[in-house]
Structure 1
């Protein structure tokens, strides 16, 4: 399931378009033709990377993901060379290119304190302008991007956290996948759902974290309960900025 990688088909309803921005389906069809630029932004765990994998698959292209840690160098001029190499290799391989943490490369030049911050942004803007393949950039910090960068992208998509209905749907999938011992207890299901409904800000990535955690531990079905699953999501919710003081879950 795509949501296990941080994406849900139902999550597409949480994509919001910027004014005059074409819809997601338009980029999907354009990318199938081998060309297009997309900026995906939103909180961590909302599925930006998984969306890039999905679009590359739909376009029948390999995906080349490059992160800030791979491209940024402490040596003057090397970051620009690394960026140019990433585009050159993607073009040569016919691959879709994903630049994760794009805010690290496209910082607002009006806020730059060092000359290399400006040259790094300039280099990436030039590369985007000249690239004739499929480019996707992902960021958690849209407000940090240089205004000129936004004009370089054909499509800008905001991926939001899950709404109440989507949380309920993913929790049902979580129950179906992990099969807790009380999965047939209607009262326990209703109680657990009541907890999950209160967890505003959850993302598909939070559900994926819970799945991975229980899968790695190999918890037997007899030792896993709906209460444990709901409280695991409460734990993911509690560490989010601005939610630590809120109380939710089973007593």
Structure 2
């Protein structure tokens, strides 16, 4: 069975949220990370509180290097790319996507999305702190939390973007595979510094796996140039038992 490839043009600026629902009859899922950037990328991994641990919580991926990570049945968690890291003797920090552990291994810590001066604006939640913008409290469900005028500005510019907490209905796509290749900088320019490529675009997409059937296809997306916020790529993966044992896949 051919495996789809997620071609990510700007690993430090793309926000990629992947959610998996895997039935008990399905075997482990394989994620292959490929670095085509001109600089090293340091993926970070975070398992859910009730999930079995993976083989690592963070590692280095040199230019041209690939590595496969196996997610056992029922695993839940997330992974993302860090850039500009400096680990001296196993200790250090990253410019983007740093998990705060002070080590190459994140050890249960998540990513901190970066922002650079003049390239981004505050979200309505951060700016006003109101539940209706943050989708918490009485607004902590899709029935009460709706798109705001601020999120709709982004949605109008990038209709397939995930613009607020419950934007699933308009940001979900399908793909019938269980193994995935995630490629950072698939068309990397050797004459352009990687840190510039990593600050080009912001992109958020959704993908749902509705069947375990085989087939040959490729899922590929390009980052949108309409957003210039420098965010670390955050790939969140959740594997849970689906009703009837049929695997489903969602990329949010």
TM-score (norm: length of structure 1): 0.24
Q: TM-score, normalised by structure 2?
A: 0.24
Point out the structure with max Rg over C-alpha.
Answer: 1
Structure number with higher helix proportion:
1
Q: Pick 1 or 2: higher relative contact order, CA cutoff 8 A, min separation 6.
A: 2
